Amino acid sequence: MWPVLKRILKTGIVSEPAPEAGDVHREVDRLNDEILRIVGRALTIREVDAGSCNACELEIHALNNPYYNLEGRGIKFVASPRHADMLLVTGPVTKNMENALKIAYDSTPDPKLVVAVGDCGCGCGEVGALFGPNYATCGAVENVIPVDVRVPGCPPTPLALLQGILAAVRTR
Amino acid sequence: MRFHAEPIDFERQPGVGAPLWRGRAADGEDLLRFAISVHRHDGRLCALWGSDERSNGHGFRVHAIFALDEGWQYLTLDLPADDPVYPDLSGVFAAANRMQRATFDLVGIRHDGEDQRPWLRHGGWPADWFPLRHDAGDSPAHENRPTDYEFVKVGGEGAHEIPVGPIHAGIIEPGHFRFTVVGERVLRLEQRLGYLHKGTERRLAGADFSTGAKLVGRVSGDSTCAFAWAFAGAVEAACGVEPSPRALHLRALLLERERVANHLGDLGMLGNDAAFGFGLSQFFRLKEDWVRLNAQVFGHRFLMDRIVPGGVAVDADAAGLAAIAGQAETIEREVRELQRIYDEHAGLQDRFLTLGPIDAALVRELSLSGMAARATGLLLDARCHRHGYAPPAPWGTLAVRPASDERGDVAARVAVRFAEVYESLRLIRLLAAGLPGGELRVEVAPVPGAAGVGVIEGWRGEVIVGVQLGADGRIARCHPHDPSWQAWPALEHAVLRDIVPDFPLINKSFNLSYSGQDI
């Protein structure tokens, strides 16, 4: 118990601006506050990997680390699309996931937001072109369900993901 | 060279890569007999794939990679164009089952065994259309309707099924798990994978080296360095090119940074799945520091596209190397403190100990490699010296020490991850302190018709890439193989003594790749 408490105290609150990456931290705080100001209470997100190589998922995981502290601000990933305000979808959408993605979309209550994540999910950039539609994939997320906002990148940084979530909230 | 008196002549693949010998089986019986011999000598089946050689005036071809003590044996078998059937190897190596079924889905060459269920094809394309055949053309118009899959049924009073997936509860890759349980006790787990199949091998056909490196570097995003290195190694072996010592050492530095990043993340997740959120926060903080330095020194948080055919695309200057060495010190201090907390936390150890066990005999039977295999006491690591095996450059001079733990449970896999973090940090400090000179990248001129194989010890296990060049010098066929192919069936065994709520923790202790297997 004591070593745990000691470690927690020693670590402190890293979500605050830190000198070595100060700009990033300030930007994170501003984005989180703005999302919550617009949503007013809490935003719930269901993440759907519809074909990704897992790199986008690693960056989405990072949103929950103490630096970005997403959950600490009331933005939460949920297990069921029925509990979600937003779908965060990575691609390229495979034929083998096309049906599951459509079911997840239909299961999300209105009004719902969809953010397409990554060059593959957005169908942009060199990598998006490399993983475009073929016998096994439908390509970009928007080829399968309506998309509100695109967050390109291979993979997009956690900061870009935060900005994309904010942009999607603004579209409503 | 011959192995264990089997009548197949092998030739050593040239170059600086892993020790690998190539040979050709005269017929199906030859292949089967060699497989049996490898199995008898505690060897492994590492990869199996097919290719269409009809445009070269042949039929079809089966490619199999085995491993014995000395290194890897790459065996091919030519099949006739009109009736391409080869002997079922799954009776010898259980790992062959899914690879053989995937080979049929993609190339349309069949094994003669019983289990002919599709593996990668769920209903997205017609059953009689094979995407990797030269004359496949564009995919025919086809309604994408999910097909039924014949899971093995378990009968008896009180037995019922729990279907899970393809979309799982967390931020995880998709796949389907079918549990059969009595009460909470798991009687059987059967996986159905392939949901992330994105036709990567078809995209690779006709690609040049730089496009190929990008595609293979995205087979599994958490193992981009391992795949990019294995691809580069395959291309370099095919074209007779050797990267400079500096390039090889930088590759090792990148690969070890990838290993540490993944172990840090998983150690946090393992704490979290045992309801110890403190672990997640602490390890994810360390991982974020780690990938931020990746971005600062090498320009990418996960180091994608840094390893390229001929060498590397980035250098590290003195300031960058100093930062890397300094960070290795800091992280080691913090991880040792966290390990003490993990080791002494009764609630955590109560969950970890004896959970999800596998043993060395099962590991051998399933041809498992990597971290999970080492957690059963097998000293199997492509970077390490062992009896009869000398690791390729640059590992030989670094004297890598394999991590090991004989318990085979979740606790063992956690212990091996900690040990591998410390060893990688030692290697990183060593590499950062003494990078040799040499060109960062040498030109790789394509040699039409040449072939090569690259083998790299990624953080999960053995990553293998086989490359065959066409007459135009572009990639005719490339098969990237993730170690998860062999490890997924091990997970089916690991859950058998435990209850359903233990599954997430057991699953996370392996953390296998879906995308790497589904390609």
Residue burial B281-290, b: 16+ Cβ < 10 Å; e: rest = bbbbbbbbbb
Alpha carbon B33 to its chain's center: 26
For chain A, helix, strand, coil in percent to 5 are 50, 15, 35
Percent over 90 (pLDDT), chain A: 64
A15 located within any domain: no
The C-alpha atoms of residue B95 and residue B45 are separated, in whole angstroms, by 7
Q: What is the mean pLDDT of residues B276-284?
A: 96
Residue burial A144-168, b: 16+ Cβ < 10 Å; e: rest = bbebbbbbbbbbbbbbbbbbbbbbb
Residue B15 scores a pLDDT above 60: yes
Q: How close A170 comes to chain B (CA, Å)?
A: 24
Residue A20 scores a pLDDT above 70: no
Q: Which of B10, B60, B58 lies closest to B30 in space, CA to CA? A: B10
Interface contact A67, partner B, CB < 8 A: yes
At residue B155 the predicted structure's pLDDT band, cuts being 50, 70 and 90, is confident
Q: How close A102 comes to chain B (CA, Å)?
A: 12
The C-alpha atoms of residue B138 and residue A91 are separated, in whole angstroms, by 21
Phi, psi of B187, deg, nearest 5: -90, -35
Interface contact A18, partner B, CB < 8 A: no
Interface contact A66, partner B, CB < 8 A: yes
**∠ CA B345-A78-B491 to the nearest 5 degrees?**
55
At residue A110 the predicted structure's pLDDT band, cuts being 50, 70 and 90, is confident
Angle formed by the axes of helices B96-107 and B484-494, nearest 10°: 130
DSSP label of A109: P
* Residues of chain B positioned with their CB less than 8 A from the CB of A7: 278, 282, 337-338, 341
Residues with Cβ within 8 Å of residue A167, at least 6 apart in sequence = A149
At residue B343 the predicted structure's pLDDT band, cuts being 50, 70 and 90, is very high
* CB-CB under 8 Å, B285 with A11: yes
**∠ CA B57-B58-B62 to the nearest 5 degrees?**
150
Q: What are the angstrom distances between the C-alpha of B229 and each of A154, B232, B237?
A: 19, 5, 12
Which of A54, A104, A134 minimises the CB distance to B515? A54
Q: What pLDDT, in 10s, does the model give residues B208-233?
A: 999 999 999 999 999 999 999 999 99
Percent over 70 (pLDDT), chain B: 100
At residue A22 the predicted structure's pLDDT band, cuts being 50, 70 and 90, is very low
* CB-CB under 8 Å, A8 with B278: yes
What is the Cβ-side half-sphere exposure of residue B477, based on CA atoms within 13 angstroms? 25
Residue-level pLDDT at B268: 97
A71: domain CATH number is: 3.40.50.12280
Q: How close are the terminal C-alpha atoms of chain B, in Å?
A: 34
Helix (H, G, I), strand (E, B) or coil at B514: coil
**Counting beta carbons within 10 angstroms of the beta carbon of residue B435, is it exposed (0 to 12), middle (13 to 18) or buried (19 or more)?**
middle
Residue-level pLDDT at A28: 58
Phi, psi of B183, deg, nearest 5: 65, -120
Q: Which of A65, A57, A42, A44 lies closest to A91 in space, CA to CA? A: A57
Q: What is the mean pLDDT of residues B253-282?
A: 97
* CB-CB under 8 Å, B288 with A65: yes
Size of interface A-B (CB pairs under 8 A): 157
Question: Would you tell me how many other CB atoms lie within 10 Å of the CB of residue B442?
Answer: 16
The C-alpha atoms of residue B194 and residue A154 are separated, in whole angstroms, by 22
At residue A21 the predicted structure's pLDDT band, cuts being 50, 70 and 90, is very low
Pick the residue of B132, B196, B460, B511 with the most A CBs within 10 A to test the interface with A by mutation. Answer: B196
What's the domain range around A85?
Answer: 23-170
For residues A85 and A43, the answer to whether their CB atoms sit within 8 Å is yes
* CB-CB under 8 Å, B166 with A100: yes
Residue-level pLDDT at A25: 44
Counted domains in chain A: 1
Q: How close A120 comes to chain B (CA, Å)?
A: 11
Pick the residue of A95, A105, A115 with the most B CBs within 10 A to test the interface with B by mutation. Answer: A95
Interface contact A30, partner B, CB < 8 A: no
Pick the residue of B171, B203, B211, B515 with the most A CBs within 10 A to test the interface with A by mutation. Answer: B171
Phi, psi of B68, deg, nearest 5: -120, -175
Q: Which residue of B has its CA nearest to A92?
A: B198
Residue-level pLDDT at B349: 97
Q: What is the mean pLDDT of residues B50-62?
A: 95
* Residues of chain A positioned with their CB less than 8 A from the CB of B211: 130
For residues A136 and B197, the answer to whether their CB atoms sit within 8 Å is yes
Q: What pLDDT, in 10s, does the model give residues B485-513?
A: 999 999 999 999 899 999 999 999 999 99
A14 located within any domain: no
Average pLDDT, chain B: 96
Residue-level pLDDT at A18: 30
Helix (H, G, I), strand (E, B) or coil at B83: coil
A113 located within any domain: yes
Q: What are the angstrom distances between the C-alpha of A58 and each of A8, B271, B449?
A: 24, 17, 38
* CB-CB under 8 Å, A62 with B288: yes
Interface contact A115, partner B, CB < 8 A: no
SS3 string, B357-375, reads CCCHHHHHHCCCCCHHHHC
Domains of chain B and any CATH numbers: 11-111 (3.30.460.80), 203-505 (1.10.645.10)
Q: Which of A153, A67, A118, A72 lies closest to B292 in space, CA to CA? A: A67
* CB-CB under 8 Å, B338 with A134: no
Q: Which amino acid is at A70?
A: L
The C-alpha atoms of residue B289 and residue B59 are separated, in whole angstroms, by 52
The C-alpha atoms of residue B215 and residue B224 are separated, in whole angstroms, by 10
* Residues of chain B positioned with their CB less than 8 A from the CB of A143: none
- Choose between A14 and B302: higher pLDDT: B302
Cis peptide before A111 (omega within 30 of 0): yes
Q: Which residue of B has its CA nearest to A90?
A: B173
Question: Which of A 88-107 lie inside 8 A of B, CB atoms?
Answer: 92, 94-100, 104
* CB-CB under 8 Å, A55 with B224: yes
* Residues of chain B positioned with their CB less than 8 A from the CB of A155: 221, 301-302
The C-alpha atoms of residue B73 and residue B305 are separated, in whole angstroms, by 29
Q: What is the mean pLDDT of residues B167-187?
A: 94
Tell me whether strands B307-308 and B311-312 are parallel, antiparallel or unpaired.
antiparallel
Q: Which amino acid is at A71?
A: E
* Residues of chain B positioned with their CB less than 8 A from the CB of A77: 170-171
Q: How close B421 comes to chain A (CA, Å)?
A: 19
* CB-CB under 8 Å, A14 with B513: no
Q: What pLDDT, in 10s, does the model give residues B431-482?
A: 999 899 999 999 999 999 999 999 999 999 999 999 999 999 999 999 999 9
A139: left (phi over 0), alpha (psi -120 to 50) or beta: left
* Residues of chain A positioned with their CB less than 8 A from the CB of B284: 61-62, 64-66
